[in-house]
Amino acid sequence: MKNIFKPALVAGIILFVVSYGGLYLAIQFLPFLFIKYINPMFTSDNNRDILFYAHAFVVSFALSWFWERFKSLFKGNFVLRGLEFGLVYAGVALVPVMWITFSSLDITLLMVASWFVYGLCQGMVAGIVFAKMNP
């Protein structure tokens, strides 16, 4: 359990900082991506905001468990292992989720692509943390 909890907590903190820093930078430098978010579909009543902010920790704990189960399959130094882990996560989880999301909601391909890249980066960052802390 220690092999899952501590790396997940560290990865969650790093993902939280990187995610919200990246979001701030993306809004500043790519504002055209965020115009579509001015839509009632994306408006929250503020009752669930904590769920949004907890996302980095939820994904880091899930990925930490996945890492613990399958880390022996990834070879190379910790950076390569982490990057490969992120690619595997993207292929196994993100592609199907982005496919169903795009096919069922009135959103643009650019939005889905940005979500995919965001998730891929999260997976790679978490993978590098896990490969370093829990080889």
Our count of domains for the chain comes to 1
Rounded distance between C-alpha atoms, residue 86 and residue 24, angstroms = 23
> What pLDDT score was predicted for residue 37?
73
Q: 77: helix, coil or strand?
A: coil
Closest CA to 64 of 121, 133, 117: 133
Containing domain of residue 47, as a range?
Answer: 2-133
pLDDT in tens, 73-122: 999 999 999 999 999 999 999 999 999 999 998 888 998 999 999 999 99
CA atoms 81, 125, 123, 121: torsion sign:
negative
100-132 in b/e form (b: 16+ CB < 10 A) is eebeeeebeeebbeebbeebbbbbbbbbbbbbe
Q: How far is it, in rounded angstroms, from Cα 71 to Cα 56?
A: 21
pLDDT 10s digits, 37-71: 777 777 777 788 888 889 999 999 999 999 999 99
Give the model confidence (pLDDT) of 23-40 as tens digits: 889 889 888 887 777 777
Of the pLDDT bands very low, low, confident and very high (cuts 50, 70, 90), residue 17 is: very high
Tell me what pLDDT residue 107 has. 87
The number of CA neighbours under 13 Å toward the Cβ of 51 is 5
Using the predicted structure, report yes or no on whether residue 2 has a pLDDT greater than 80: no
Report field, pTM of the whole predicted structure over 0.75? yes
Q: Identify the band that residue 133 occupies on the pLDDT scale cut at 50, 70 and 90.
A: very high
**Residues 84/76, Cβ–Cβ less than 8 Å:** yes
Q: Helix axis angle, 49-70 relative to 78-89, nearest 10°?
A: 120
